[in-house]
Structure 1
Amino acid sequence: MGRAAAKYPDDTETAAFYALALAAAADPADKTYVDQLKAGAILEKLWEALPDHPGLAHYIIHSYDVPALASRALAAARRYARIAPSAPHALHMPSHTFTRLGYWQDSIGTNVLSAAAARKEGQLGEELHALDYQVYAYLQTGQDRAAKRVVDSLPQIAPRFDPNLVAGAAPGSAGVFALAAIPARYAMERGAWAAAAKLDVHASRFPFADAMTWFARAVGSARTKDVAAARAAIDELQKLTDSLTQAGERYWAEQVAIQRLDATAWLALAEAKPDEALSTMRTAAEREDATEKSAITPGPLAPARELLGEMLLQLKQPKPALAEFEATLAREPNRFRALSGAATAALQAGDRARQLIKICARADVPARADLTAARRIAMRTSK
């Protein structure tokens, strides 16, 4: 594509596809983001001349879909849905940027529209992809009942969904991933560890999707001290890692390997091995720091540094716990559990508690226990 772009420097579409290729091929371990920045520069120049070109807005969002660059895509995200208001994927794409920035109500709004448009067009994979992002945002704002309605809708969608029949822009794997991720998110984001441990596994031809359920089961079992079940789920994660490695899926093999480390750390804690647990959890966090999330997902079921912070809190180490929660928030702004953890851990917890209360303005009543605790902290620190 680079040669084609050089040969036809005045061709907008060639330049746009070259930029998209740069962004798509970028090394997730490269934290200088050289390819993403190069792609974005090409696209932004084109977009200045063609602000209603839907492809340019779309590709800008993809190019800057990393925490350090997401704010650069905000103008494109705000405009894209207006450019193509009846296209399900165009309605969904702004939420990639909104998610990166922690703009949860914006993400909910655009994904509600996207899912409805996809449903109307019979694009079930696209609908499921939008629902995954939608549920993620609901759960960050304490709107658990709204998230539960989506969870409860999945049994009606799943039998009609054929991942081999791609009707929209989202690949079939995105729908399979969403079917596994949504119930796992609903359990883990609320700290419903017993429910996470009992999630049903629906095997697919996408090991990285299956890993979402096994990861939730592993962590849920470990945190309810069901050591045997945790170990069995961790063994399944190892099998999935091996399968992905053998298939040459290096990126996803690493993601599942990180999940396995997370779960192994919590198993060690359940077995009263705190030093081993912390060491393993730190290794997982370092490996996760070195990579990036896929566009198929709004975010991990549980960021490794957030899990490390929660572990440190359990071990009565609030100062290092706070550092881990703050590191999580730098990468995943406005995450409920990271804000809640920071509010609990901080010596001056009021600021983070008030931030959590603000993003949860539409939270359910009665609220999660974490949110109720944050309100108490905010009241104490405001006196």
Structure 2
Amino acid sequence: SIVSNLAAQKAAREQGDKGEELHAMDYLVYAYLQLGRDAEAARVLDELRAMNGLDGSDFKMGYAASAMSARYATERRQWSDAAQLVPVDGASPQVSAVTLWARSVGLARSLKPAAARQEIDKLRGVYEKLRATGDDYWATQVHVQTNEALAWVAQADGKDDEALKLMHAAADEEDAIEKRPVTPGAIIPAREQLGDLLLEANQPQEALTEYQRALTMTPQRRGALMGLAHAREMIASAAPNKN
């Protein structure tokens, strides 16, 4: 909850524990965004930018700082902002992947697929690096992120069938991953993105099904709830008028 995360942030700050402070701040940004309290989420980002002594190579610090910025841009569908995010200095490969994913999706959804592909090449490099070190958990996460980004590039290129195939694969792979406690889960779940993609492809009935599936795994997510409402509107407006 917001109250408990505010308390956790305050306690961590008083103890000088920057990792825990950032961890609480990331959860706060997530909670504010789900409630549509974007201005309060923005203030947490302002606090992040004002902080000194951040060690990007520390996983907890690097991940939280990267995730907060990626969340704020992508949850609000501000694709040009997402495209301009900069990886945290010194971040580990799996942490920098969060920013590379946001950049690639932001570029693809800004209809700049060529630039998005350059970021996807970097994501693939991260994937290979993680595979080489035997870190299968994070390699799988990055594989999902890569397929999501490729799906949006395909959509930008007008290849809806290819886009849906890639996003289906990403959603199925992500659903099979067991989440680790330090991470609050995907920035935007692949299943929810599949719903978004189906709406873009004018398939509201299929989108409705995917949003419902997404909400069983990540309840009360604002993006999925809004997508669900949009899908229902599209279905209703396409139905024959019975009056």
TM-score (norm 2): 0.93
Tell me: CA distance 1:286–1:123, structure 2 relative to 1, closer, same or farther (3 Å): same
Matched, 1:138 2:24: no
- The corresponding residue for 1:309 is 195
* Distance across 1 between alignment mates of 2:235 and 2:212: 12
* Distance across 2 between alignment mates of 1:195 and 1:139: 16
What SS does the aligned partner of 1:346 have? Answer: helix
Question: CA offsets, 1:167-208, max 9 Å, x none?
Answer: xxxxx3111101111010000000001100111122434111
Out of 155, 167, 190, the position equivalent to 1:269 is: 155
Question: CA offsets, 1:37-82, max 9 Å, x none?
Answer: xxxxxxxxxxxxxxxxxxxxxxxxxxxxxxxxxxxxxxxxxxxxxx
Question: CA offsets, 1:335-380, max 9 Å, x none?
Answer: 0000000011126999xxxxxxxxxxxxxxxxxxxxxxxxxxxxxx
Shift of 1:134: 1.0
- The corresponding residue for 1:215 is 101
Question: CA offsets, 1:72-100, max 9 Å, x none?
Answer: xxxxxxxxxxxxxxxxxxxxxxxxxxxxx
**Does the aligned pair in 2 maintain the 1:343–1:349 contact within 8 Å?**
no
Question: CA offsets, 1:138-177, max 9 Å, x none?
Answer: 11110101100111111222x313467xxxxxxx311110
- The corresponding residue for 2:209 is 323
**Does the aligned pair in 1 maintain the 2:204–2:235 contact within 8 Å?**
no
Q: Give aligned pairs, total.
A: 237
The amino acid across from 1:160 in the alignment is G
* Distance across 1 between alignment mates of 2:14 and 2:235: 46
Matched, 1:254 2:140: yes
* Distance across 1 between alignment mates of 2:134 and 2:188: 25
**Does the aligned pair in 2 maintain the 1:194–1:224 contact within 8 Å?**
yes
Tell me: CA distance 1:276–1:119, structure 2 relative to 1, closer, same or farther (3 Å): same
Summarize the alignment of residues 152-301 of structure 1 with structure 2, pairs less than 5 Å apart: 152-157=46-51, 159-162=52-55, 172-301=58-187
Matched, 1:149 2:35: no
Question: CA offsets, 1:294-318, max 9 Å, x none?
Answer: 2222221110011010010011110
Shift of 1:286: 0.7
- For structure 1, list consecutive stretches of 5 or more residues without a partner in the other structure: 1-106, 165-171, 351-383
Out of 17, 40, 46, the position equivalent to 1:123 is: 17
Tell me: CA distance 1:236–1:348, structure 2 relative to 1, closer, same or farther (3 Å): closer
RMSD: 1.8
* Distance across 1 between alignment mates of 2:192 and 2:150: 15
Shift of 1:285: 0.7
Larger Rg: 1
**Does the aligned pair in 1 maintain the 2:56–2:91 contact within 8 Å?**
no
What SS does the aligned partner of 2:227 have? Answer: helix
TM-score (norm 1): 0.60
Tell me: CA distance 1:132–1:349, structure 2 relative to 1, closer, same or farther (3 Å): farther
The amino acid across from 1:343 in the alignment is A
* Distance across 1 between alignment mates of 2:53 and 2:233: 51
